[in-house]
Amino acid sequence: MRRLLKLPVSLMIVCGIVILAEGPLFAAVPYPSFSFDAWGQRVVCPAPYEPIMMIDGFDILQEDRWSLTGYSVVPLSQPQGLAVDAKDRLYIADMGNNRVVVYDTQFNYVRSIGDSSGPGRLSRPQGVFVHDDGRIFVADTGNSRIAVFSSEGNFIQAYGKPASQIFGVDYRFAPVALAVDHRGTLFVVTEGGYRGLVQLTASGEFLGFIGGNQAGFDFLWVLKQLLFTEEQLSREARRLPRSPSSVTIDHQGLIYTTTISTNHAQIKRFNIGGVNTLPERDYGDRFFRTGVSMFTGVVVNEKGLITAVDANSGQVFQYTPSGDLLFVFGGRSIAAIERMGVIHQAAGIAMRSDGLLVVSDSRSNTLHVFQPTEFAQLVHEAVFLFEEGKYDQSAQYWQEVLRRNSNFDFAHRGLGMAAYQNERFQEAMDHFYLAQFGDGYSDAFWWARRAWLLEHFDTVLIVLAGLWLGYQAIKRLFFGHWRKPKRDWYQVNRLLGDLMHAKMVILNPSAGFYDVRWSNRGSWSSALIIVLLAFAAKLFSLYYTNLIFLSVDRNRINLAYEAMTFVLPWLIWVIANYLVSALKEGEGRFKDVFIASSYALVPYILIMIPLTIFSNVMTNYEATVYYFFKNAALIWCGLLFFVMVYTVHNYEILEAIPNCVLSIIMMVVIGAIGGLVIGMTFNVTDFALGLYKEVIFRVF
Amino acid sequence: MKSESPTVQRIWGTARWKPGASRLRLRLLAKRIWQDRVSYLMVAPYVIAFVTFILLPVLGAIGLSFTFYNMIETPRYVGLLNYIYLFTEDDVFMTHVLPNTFTFAVIVGPGGYLLAFLLAWLIAQLPHRVRTVFSLALYTPSMAAAVAMSAIWLVLFSGDRVGYLNSFLLGLGIITEPINWLHSVQWLMPVMIIVTLWSSMGVGFLAMLAGILNVDPQLYEAGRIDGVKNRLQEIYYITIPSVKPQMLFGAVMAIVNTLQAGAIGVTLSGQNPTPNYAGQLILNHIDDFAFQRFEMGYAAAVSVVLLIIVYLSSKLAWAFFGPKEGE
């Protein structure tokens, strides 16, 4: 009995955990919603859209001779592309039923198009587009043509395969999506159309391809091209770029495409010259992605807000007109439940002028209708003003947005821009810092620094000159002929002497390391102190470097992880180098390698700490200086490691090179074995724990 | 009081501390000069040339840097205003010129220096005739840079599809459309660096070559007896210590050349200022203010700053390569 009871309870607990892991749930919204911070990390935010309706088409009656009533219900089947006309009526490419379904603004069924026999009969249509003048363009995939209907649904004409020589006899012209600009030019996505969108004039003439993706650079391919004969090359599989998966057009005539199965530049915006005007970057969820991005639909509203849907995750992504990610919401549910707002296989997306978002779900044969929440509307309003450069006016909206969700980083960016525009640089810096927006922070800081310099330049000059003169005077007056006797720190304290030996290592590495091996300089404790100091320098630089030069999110620094990536590799190096050298007739003992390796870290401490402090008065313009010194520190350390190897082990310089290489290989091996051991241990303990629980459970 | 050396006593005699002796001292000095007139005659050409062509212009520039001078009116004294403007108001200088110069100097200075030493050493290993040919070949770019530039680099980095580099990269499929190397903000600086490195085998290179050739071969033999096993050790233990003075000279020349390189960006891109100030170096800035805006005072201030930077950098070179105590 007890067992029977326990099972459902534990199941419930498991389910609860899984649901919690998905993210916090908001009332009435069956999915988590996220905004993104400057590092591309998810930040939970209030739902930007809430589901209000699910359309399955059970109100669609069609004439049926065999039915008693003369009608039968034909619900949606595999709905694909969606479109909205000027009157906000919804058009659905209902692929499974070979028709296009029209709904009115209240989502009541109006008519079906293309399901009656005649020249206008459709076959597996995948895309639909409604022109401003009301004509309905259908990507009639099964018939390899584009069918055009009047707004009443009467067949007007069809565009078949263009008569250009580019389309050979074998070329299968299978349109899957299309967009039409105000001149009547068609932009057609075809199946496997790796050359891009087929551009047709209103009279069906082939204009050319536009918006093709690029195959990208492949080093192996270049090698093959250089080395292979023509015959060999012809036998190679051709490298083809990915074909676009959907297309849409905005009121300015800019063409938006999506590309599936890639994690780079999934969304593109082409101007009439075929140039992508969106930044080429990853438009998906960078850190939590299930497989590869599969953007199957994109829609743009009249203000340029881009919304796209990912078939793989079932999530809807919304971007600013500049391509910055605003929100992600939606997503598949864990269980195969039919629920309003839970998308299983997103196919198409449409947006009405009132902001309602419709997403077609081709697996559950439904459409989901989403309504923007007040929060999303505020953000949209702010973004539009922001994009137009009206930062001042957008500020009040951003403040309102922040009141609802103080974690919305983009709002701080907006407020920062407003402050920047009004030359309140300190305030702008604060906001940009909160938004972790390095470039903005740099610019604001530059102006703030300039203002400060402008005010205090003469003071700075006088102070500098005074310091210099004072230094010279003191030097002349007091230390003219008297030289400071060299102090032997060893006489003060053994440990202090060992630490001060670092100076010798820096000034004359060979001699310094020689003394480590042959004159007993340095000790375990001094080495440990230096390594800890270096680690402290690393932490110091992580926490106090100027935002501009940060490569990690300061709020997500994990001390254990930092130690693992700094101290651990160093320790592995010591072990690996000792082991390799012991085999290769190296003369250094383990202690020597340990101590000398610690001294090799000294330049890092010496450079990183002042550099970190100075970085706080630098801007992007001085980035070269910062990276120069940072790289100099690393190179210097690397050289010291090298000098250490040949000095401590008494090698020739040339002998030390293979030794270093071997040590590094050894490090990798040790790392791999270590990982394996840790993993195995984890499994074993897991097993033992499970066994113990099982025994307890069975016995009692 | 310090006891004076015999020379000092000879010149000043014993009249030094007697009251009313200054006229006497002057006369004595004149007498001494007259006595050594041949020596003065010998140094005169150099001194006169140095003073007229170097010392006076430098002092003049320093003087002008405290004035406002547009080449038409008389210079007007403005105090430190030029310098204050330079460091606080001149956005182009702070945001482009200084960072550019730093990037350029940091790569071209040490890079060109190392390259010069390495090539000098390599060439020194060659037999005599071949060596002459090679050193001439390497030295030529620094003499005929401007001509060679248009002949080679402008064609190589041509911004259209038929430019050598573009054509090559397009053929390999690395790029899909030609890059306008010489007018793009992103690429001008790397191109400048490459071209300058190519032409950096100047006087410093020749000096180092001469230095390496002058190392006594006996030293190498002695080294071999003492256990030197390979060329790397030879370089490290014998060559470098022996050519230290030449290396110091090479380093100073490298610094001066790097910081004075200014024409390169303008020649490559064909415009001053360079596109979006991408290749603007201090010298271009000086040129811009002096000969396009005719703000001579301000340009003089910038060149004084350049002078200070060069001075400090060569101090640094001294610290690295200069003779240490006990050497």
Residue A530 has pLDDT above 90, yes or no: yes
What pLDDT, on a 0 to 100 scale, did the predictor assign at position A25?
44
Instruction: Determine whether the interchain pair A222/B172 forms a contact, defined as Cβ–Cβ distance below 8 Å.
Output: yes
- Residue B264: which pLDDT band, with cuts at 50, 70 and 90? confident
CA distance B37 to chain A (A): 37
Cβ-Cβ contacts under 8 Å, B90 against chain A? none
Q: What is the CATH number of domain A374-484?
A: 1.25.40.10
Q: How confident is the model at residue A234 (pLDDT cuts 50, 70, 90)?
A: confident
Could you tell me the pLDDT band of residue A28, with boundaries at 50, 70 and 90?
Answer: low
Q: Which of B82, B86, B87, B224 is the best residue to mutate to test the A interface, defined by the most A CB atoms within 10 Å of its own CB? A: B87
Domain B90-321 adopts which CATH fold? MetI-like fold (1.10.3720)
pLDDT number for residue B22: 79
Please judge whether A625 and B99 are an interchain contact, meaning their C-beta atoms are less than 8 angstroms apart.
yes
Average pLDDT over residues B273-288: 89
**Residue A16 clears pLDDT 70, i.e. is over it:** no
pLDDT digits (tens, 9 = 90+) for A477-522: 776 555 555 667 777 788 888 998 998 899 888 899 999 999 888 8
pLDDT of residue A14: 45
The pLDDT tens digits for A579-604 are 999 998 888 899 999 999 999 999 99
Rounded to 5 degrees, φ, ψ at A179 are -140, 150
Residue percentage of chain A with pLDDT more than 90: 52
Q: In which band, very low, low, confident or very high, does the pLDDT at A639 lie, cut at 50, 70 and 90?
A: very high
B103 Cα to chain A: minimum distance (Å): 6
User: Quick check: A614 and A655 in contact, CB under 8 A?
Assistant: no
* Complex-level ipTM: 0.74
CB burial of B4-36 (b: ≥16 within 10 Å; e: otherwise) equals: eeeeeeeebeeeeeeeeeeeeeeebeeeeeeee
Local confidence band at A23 (pLDDT 50, 70, 90 cut-offs): very low
Establish, for the pair of chains A and B, how many residue pairs have beta carbons separated by less than 8 Å: 50
- Contact assignment for B88 to A654 by CB distance below 8 Å: no
| Residue A465: predicted pLDDT | 93
What sign results for the dihedral spanned by CA atoms A112, A114, A118, A122?
negative
Q: Higher pLDDT residue, A157 or A215?
A: A157
- Binned at pLDDT 50, 70 and 90, residue B52 comes out as very high
Task: Give the model's pLDDT for residue A93.
Answer: 94
- Residue A629 predicted with pLDDT over 80: yes
CA A460 to chain centre: 44
pLDDT tens sequence across A290-332: 778 889 999 999 889 999 999 888 899 999 999 999 999 988 7
Distance between CA atoms of A630 and A95, rounded to whole angstroms?
59
Least confident of A148-157, A457-466, A602-611: A457-466
Of A457-466, A609-618, B106-115, highest mean pLDDT: A609-618
- Report which of residues A220 and A77 the model is more confident about: A77
Share of chain B above pLDDT 70, in %: 91
Statement: A50-216+242-373 belongs to CATH 2.40.160.20: no
Interchain proximity B230–A652, CB inside 8 Å: yes
**Would you tell me how many other CB atoms lie within 10 Å of the CB of residue A204?**
15
Task: Report the distance separating Cα A609 and Cα A616, nearest Å.
Answer: 12
The answer to whether the CB of A254 falls within 8 A of the CB of A271 is yes
Q: How far apart are CA B246 and CA B250, in angstroms?
A: 6
Single pTM value for the model: 0.79
Number of residues written out for chain B: 327
Range in A6-10, A420-424, A531-535, A585-589 with the lowest mean pLDDT: A6-10
Smallest Cβ–Cβ distance between A217 and the set B84, B173, B232 belongs to B173
Q: Do B80 and A653 touch (CB under 8 A)?
A: no
pLDDT at residue A614 is higher than 70: yes
Nearest to B232 among A214, A458, A654 (CB): A654
Record: contact B173-A653, CB cut-off 8 A: no
Sign of CA dihedral B136, B138, B142, B148: positive
> Is the predicted pLDDT of residue A3 greater than 60, yes or no?
no
Q: Which residues of B touch A453 (CB under 8 A)?
A: 87-88
R_g (Cα) of chain B, nearest Å: 26
Expressed in percent and rounded to 5, the helix, strand and coil fractions of chain A are 45, 20, 35
Contacts by A542-547 with C-beta closer than 8 Å and gap 24+? Answer: A544/A612, A544/A613, A544/A616, A545/A612, A545/A615, A545/A616, A546/A615, A546/A616, A546/A618, A547/A432, A547/A433, A547/A436, A547/A438, A547/A441
Taking CB atoms and an 8 Å limit, are A457 and B172 in contact across chains?
no
Q: Looking at residue A507, what is its pLDDT?
A: 87
Under an 8 A CB cutoff, do B233 and A453 touch?
no
Please tell me whether residue A521 adopts helix, strand or coil conformation: coil
Segment B81-97, tens digit of pLDDT? 898 888 877 888 888 88
Please state the domain extents for chain A: 50-216+242-373, 374-484, 493-684
Residue type, B105: A
A54-79, pLDDT tens digit by residue?
Answer: 998 888 888 777 877 878 888 999 99
The residue of B83, B95, B169, B312 whose CB has the most chain A CBs within 10 angstroms, and thus the best one to mutate to test that interface, is: B95
What distance in Å separates the CA atoms of residue A597 and residue A248, rounded to the nearest whole number?
Answer: 60
CA distance A475 to A573: 45
Q: What is the mean pLDDT of residues A377-385?
A: 93
What is the average pLDDT value for chain A, to the nearest integer?
A: 87
Among B residues 202-261, those touching chain A with beta carbons less than 8 Å apart: 229-230, 232-233, 236
Q: Is B301 on the interface with A (CB under 8 A)?
A: no
What pLDDT, on the 0 to 100 scale, is given for residue A300?
94
Q: Is the pLDDT of residue A336 over 70?
A: no
Q: Is B308 on the interface with A (CB under 8 A)?
A: no
Chain B nearest C-alpha distance from A453 (Å): 6
Query: Lowest-confidence range among A19-23, A660-664, B17-21, B296-300?
Result: A19-23
B232/A653 touch (CB, cutoff 8 Å), yes or no = yes
Query: DSSP string spanning B254-274?
Result: HHHHHHH--HHHHHHHTSSSP
Separation CA B301–CA B307 (nearest Å): 10
Which of the residues A213, A214, A217 would you substitute to probe the B interface, choosing the one with the greatest number of B C-beta atoms within 10 Å?
A217
CB A153 within 8 A of CB A138: no
Q: Residue A206: is it exposed, middle or buried by C-beta count within 10 angstroms (0-12/13-18/19+)?
A: middle
Task: Find the mean pLDDT for residues A447-457.
Answer: 87
Q: Would you kindly state where each structural domain of chain B is located, as residue ranges?
A: 1-35, 90-321
C-alpha to C-alpha distance for A612 and A622, rounded to whole angstroms:
13
| A-chain residues near B103 (CB < 8 A) | 624
Please enumerate residues of A whose Cβ is less than 8 A from a Cβ of B.
214-215, 217-218, 221-222, 225-226, 446, 450, 453-454, 457-458, 461, 621-625, 628, 652-654
Banded model confidence at residue B9, pLDDT cuts 50, 70, 90: low
Four-residue CA torsion sign, B300, B306, B310, B316: positive
pLDDT at res. A479: 63
CB-based contact, B84 to chain A, within 8 Å: yes
B129 vs A336 pLDDT, higher one = B129
- Lowest mean pLDDT, pick from A265-274, A558-567, B66-75, B173-182: B173-182
In the predicted model, what is the mean pLDDT of chain B?
85
Q: What pLDDT was estimated at residue A484?
A: 59
Predicted pLDDT at B4: 52
